[in-house]
Amino acid sequence: MKTDKEVLAVNGYLMSTVVLAVIIAGVYVFIYDMVWIGLILIALTIFLLKGFFVVNPNSSRVLLLFGSYYGTVKKNGFGWVIPFYYKTRVSLRARNFESERLKVNDKLGNPIMISAILVWKVSDTYKAMFDVDNYEAFVKIQTDAAVRKLAGSYPYDQFEDENSSITLSSNFEEVNKSLEEEISERLSIAGITVIEARLGYLAYAPEIAQAMLKRQQATAIIAARAKIVEGAVGMVESALDLLSVKKIIELDEDKKAAMVSNLLTVLCSDSDVEPVINTGTLNH
């Protein structure tokens, strides 16, 4: 398989002096009425001028000679090559690309919206120009394909798959690494180097977003309730133990049950407690 080959161009400033000499010679022969020689020198001047080009920093020129790849000029500056070469500019700079928000299914079949941000650059000009038809379009299509594959490989979260160790919404480093490897493998055929790949957008699809939000809220409420009950039981246990140790009051089993019920009601209630004053005895 061919790869790009770096070649050097003739110094453009040196060739400028040659072209200038040809122009001066043309003027000289016209002065002495040597018209045909003058016309030839004019044609030669126009021909030589077509060989000049400029290579900017982090840019290149791919040279073709009658359909055959000759090489790639990557050295910055003013250069000249034989005008028969067809010169194509290929940027070597890093580029940003954000894919469209795709509606796909995750591993569990839930519809989600997802997109990726890709930082890439051309590292092999031959592959980019001749192994694919349009390398910029190739990057976009293959990135979308990699994002679709990634979304189908992991669940969105652990609500329905508690045994899953990696999810799209929580394990960002692992997911981004997997995405970068997948895109790099796909784009290697086009001579593209992936500098960075990460998820740019991730959410449930609109038709299930509200339902999933309610499920997350319910799960959070249940978890909070469990913590509240666990703490309340500990506080009641400590209160009973403290009353028993200090012998402040003697409580039989019925009174203990009533006290536990009242304390748990107070500690676990969502609303503020309204005290009730008992003017009788503990039994009334």
User: Among 8, 12, 6, 5, which residue's Cα sits nearest to residue 54?
Assistant: 12
Class of residue 257 by CB neighbours under 10 A (exposed 0-12, middle 13-18, buried 19+): exposed
Strand locations in the chain (E): 10-11, 52-55, 59-65, 68-73, 77-80, 86-91, 95-98, 102-105, 111-122, 192-204
**CATH code assigned to 95-204:** 3.30.479.30
pLDDT score of 160: 57
pTM for this one?
0.69
The model's pLDDT over 146-202, given as tens digits with 9 standing for 90+, comes to 999 998 888 887 665 556 677 887 778 888 999 999 999 999 999 999 999 999 888
Domain range list for the chain: 10-90, 95-204, 222-268
* Rg of the chain over all Cα atoms, to the nearest angstrom: 38
The helix-helix angle for 12-31 and 35-49 (nearest 10°) equals 160
pLDDT score of 107: 85
The helix-helix angle for 206-246 and 253-268 (nearest 10°) equals 140
pLDDT score of 142: 93
Low-confidence ranges of the chain (pLDDT < 70): 1, 33, 158-164, 208-225, 232, 240, 243-256, 258-260, 262-284
